Structure 1
Amino acid sequence: MSGVASAGSHSFDHHAAGLADSRLLLIAPALILIASITFNAGLAIVNANVMALSSSIVMLVEGLLTGAALGVALLRWRPEMAPMIVAMALIFLFGVVRSIATEELQPKYIRDLMIMPVFLLLGMASSKEHLARTVLAIHTVVLIVLAVEALMPGLHSKLFNIQDYYINTRGTRADQFYNTNSDLFISATRPDARYLPFITEERMSSVFLEPVSLGNYCSIIIAFTVSCFRRLGWPATIYLALTTVLLLFGCDGRLAVLASLIIAAAALITPYLPPFSAIIYLPGAVLTLFTAAALLGLKAGTDDFAGRLTGTVELLHRFDLVDFLGLSNQYVDWTVDSGLAYLIVTQSLPGLILLWTFIAWHVSERTIEQVRFTHALCLYLTLSMLVSFSLLTIKTAALLWFIQGALQSSGSEAGRDKFSQS
């Protein structure tokens, strides 16, 4: 009898351990996502209050998080994940070919695109029931840190000392900051007046440490909210909508406001558009941009929408064949204000076309949520690409692709028949 009892106890313990492992595997994607969004803030605290850090530490932590995301995703492997593995292989292969052609090793260019398939996989590996709670938890943390930044700026500066963090880990020089007396990021103080008046003269950044990423985050949250309000329920939807408006005022993001308004308006009609029609946004925007620049005689030079858009046109006119093939580094430093030019010169024009086709066409559109979010994602990427390459940072890209992966992996109960609801 004692042997039977012992065997039964052993079986129970093994089953309990299996359940614990299973639960941990279910929440691991959310934990990795949260860490990927906030690790820079954590490192800034260490840099400001414990020890000076270097860029290698930042790259190491990001590499570990990306590796952990891929590892957890592969533990929950499903056949539909295979295209993401193919995409990763192609990104890596082109990166190697480019390094050989330019005789310069640039792992950053591989990393820029690798975030997409890795966090798509992580989203697919997550539980659909955890998606809304994960986003709400992240959003609450972002809001709390913004409140500290707005109401207790002295404490915020002591905790993060953002200027020092970027000088130590990004090679930024102190004289590049508009306000050298501030501990905030370069663009926290505009050379001109704020775009949206709110609380203080400085632009806020919360856990993202710089305002542009907070603005990009706001656009992603708006995309998620207008796509998934049935999943969220009205209390959570109202919470996300109202607090995101607050965050938009805080970061004073011009592009973020425009993108959020367009995404919210588009959500009303995207379920009724032809299947996979989100692919038209980027080529349509580029064609419109080049046509407008030619007809209106626009010139680059000003740090506003018109100036950056025209700067993209003028830069692309300078490209030679080798630049369009992504095999030259001569214009990389010129592409700070043009994600489109940056992706062409680092990934090639054919590579960008393949990437965009994959993003817009390798999707499921079985549900309202999937359709709305895919259109919102493509609108966000299109608008961002025309004026910046900030969309590639893991701080916001991880969240964007995680949501897309989670939505793609599940048919929401709220969207069984996309033509049965508005």
Structure 2
Amino acid sequence: MTAGIMSAGRIQVRGGGLQAGKYLVLAGAVFNLALCFVSTRHWLHIGNAQIAMVEIAIMAAGFYLIRHQVDRNALWIMAVTFGFLVGAKLVNPALSFKIVHDVGIMYIFFVLGRMTTERVAWSTIWILTALVLAVGMVELIFTDMYASLFNIWDYYVQKGVISSDTVNYSNTNLFLSGNRGAGAGRTFFQSIFGPHRVSSLFLEPDSLGNFSAVLFAWCLSVSRNQPGRRCVLLYGLAVLCFILADSRFASGCCMLMLLMRISPFCRVPLVAFLCPVIVATGLTVLGSLHELPGVLPAIIKDDLSGRLIFSGRLLDYWNIGQWFGLAPSQVYTSDTGYAYVLNNLGAILTLFYLGVFAFHRSRTPESAIMKTMISVYFATSLCIGASVFTIKTAALLWFLYGVTEVMGPARQSVRPVRAARPAARAVLPQVAGAAV
């Protein structure tokens, strides 16, 4: 969470910077669908390396656009972070430098958001929502055709997310969690949708749930009881998205964000800081109440309670080395976000980044609210996984947070920078010569 390392000075927007962020957010959301189509058509073998190259290209383009906005504080924080990771890697070979990629997405798209306008943000939201619902409806109504165009199962096998020997109980080309298992049933409208969980252009239902939570957080932050500012339609579409995905996490997260929004603490920086800390502490206590001496933590029951207990047991099982990123975790951390962050970034740097994010001075009321909504979103999502870091939805989240920093009067501190006209540049030497 690196939002705070930007200074409060003026932001200069060069050339097409106002629109460029929108296109990169859209690219981050749709490129997996495009690559899956290419893979399904057998036009090109798509593996983890090819996917990573596309992500890096998107981030590189974003970094190029914000290169003039990177200040000295940001450079120092980058240097300290990289130095710690290199040193920790020497004693913890399992440490993953992917955490740099995750933090980079936050910073790059936050700054891109600060370089644009609310109008561009709304344009991004409506375009992306239209794409999500259009693809989602095709998947829901024409499931077999969708699966023939996008073999998601094979795509994730090639990506390395699904093991090649994993049994496909659903007997479809959808993602592993694309259908509720036998006896589990959907939470929302089982009789209408059956066991199918819609993934849309994100290819996995969890990301569609995250997308709905991001939309809901934006609505809570910018909506007002004024004509044209109530965001009623977007609220409804956000709810529709988590219903289609049958995302229990997203529905619960949206409810918690709503409760936080109507509380008197929705703009308090300390609350934004404490939310993840309190939840992580509570998880650890939960794990201590379900200890199994001599048994490695594992997901015993693949539901919400089982995931929470697993996350808590893993944190409780760790020694001090794992907490500070100086020793490898005894168990994989991809299914529990808190463990993933702590074991790769270390407790000290994690708290530092959280503090920078939480106590960064909000320039608008919308920004202060959005900050707290993000804190609730991360605090809850990290209990059951690390999907909040995927560029598919993280790019949109941090882009919108950046936009809230420059809404209303704060927009006046953003000034466009236009290149001098060729004719004007040609006149300058003549003027200088005349002066001599």
TM-score (norm 2): 0.81
Moved more, 48-57 or 104-113: 104-113
Q: Deviations over 1:129-153 (max 9, x none)?
A: 3112111211111111111111121
Given candidates 42, 51, 73, the residue that maps to 1:58 is 51
Q: One-letter code of the match for 1:248?
A: F
- Residue 11 of structure 1: aligned partner: none
Query: Hey, what's the Cα distance between the residues in 1 that align with 2:128 and 2:261?
Result: 23
* Cα gap change, 1:386 to 1:307, in 2 (>3 Å): same
CA RMSD for the aligned pairs? 2.9
- Residue 284 of structure 1: aligned partner: 278
Please tell me whether the aligned partners of residues 91 and 114 of structure 1 are also in contact (alpha carbons under 8 angstroms): no
- Residue 319 of structure 1: aligned partner: 318
Please tell me whether the aligned partners of residues 122 and 402 of structure 1 are also in contact (alpha carbons under 8 angstroms): yes
- Residue 264 of structure 1: aligned partner: 258
Please tell me whether the aligned partners of residues 195 and 254 of structure 1 are also in contact (alpha carbons under 8 angstroms): yes
- Residue 126 of structure 2: aligned partner: 136
Query: Hey, what's the Cα distance between the residues in 2 that align with 1:48 and 1:236?
Result: 42
Shift, 1:234, TM fit:
3.8
Shift, 1:313, TM fit:
2.1
> Percent sequence identity over matched residues?
26
- Residue 24 of structure 2: aligned partner: 32
Alignment of 1:8-407 (within 5 A): 24-49=16-41, 50-75=43-68, 77=69, 82-103=72-93, 106-170=96-160, 172-176=162-166, 178-179=168-169, 181-191=171-181, 192-196=184-188, 197=190, 198-230=192-224, 234=228, 237-270=231-264, 274-291=268-285, 301-331=300-330, 333-364=331-362, 366-407=363-404
Query: Hey, what's the Cα distance between the residues in 2 that align with 1:74 and 1:120?
Result: 13
Query: Hey, what's the Cα distance between the residues in 1 that align with 2:112 and 2:411?
Result: 22
Q: One-letter code of the match for 1:313?
A: G
Q: Deviations over 1:61-104 (max 9, x none)?
A: 000101111111225x27xx554444433333333223333346
Please tell me whether the aligned partners of residues 203 and 211 of structure 1 are also in contact (alpha carbons under 8 angstroms): yes
- Extract unaligned runs of 5+ from structure 2: 1-12, 413-436
* Cα gap change, 1:22 to 1:288, in 2 (>3 Å): closer
Give runs of ≥4 in structure 1 deviating > 6 Å. Answer: 295-300
- Extract unaligned runs of 5+ from structure 1: 1-20, 417-422
Query: Hey, what's the Cα distance between the residues in 2 that align with 1:60 and 1:37?
Result: 15
* Cα gap change, 1:235 to 1:183, in 2 (>3 Å): farther
Moved more, 348-357 or 61-70: 348-357
- Residue 4 of structure 1: aligned partner: none
TM-score (norm 1): 0.84
- Residue 3 of structure 2: aligned partner: none
Greater helix fraction, Structure 1 or Structure 2: 1
Q: Report the 3-state secondary structure (helix = DSSP H, G, I; strand = E; otherwise coil) of the residue aligned with 1:187.
A: coil
- Greater relative contact order (Cα 8 A, min sep 6): structure 1 or 2? 2
Query: Hey, what's the Cα distance between the residues in 2 that align with 1:341 and 1:254?
Result: 21
Query: Hey, what's the Cα distance between the residues in 1 that align with 2:370 and 2:227?
Result: 17
Please tell me whether the aligned partners of residues 286 and 313 of structure 2 are also in contact (alpha carbons under 8 angstroms): no
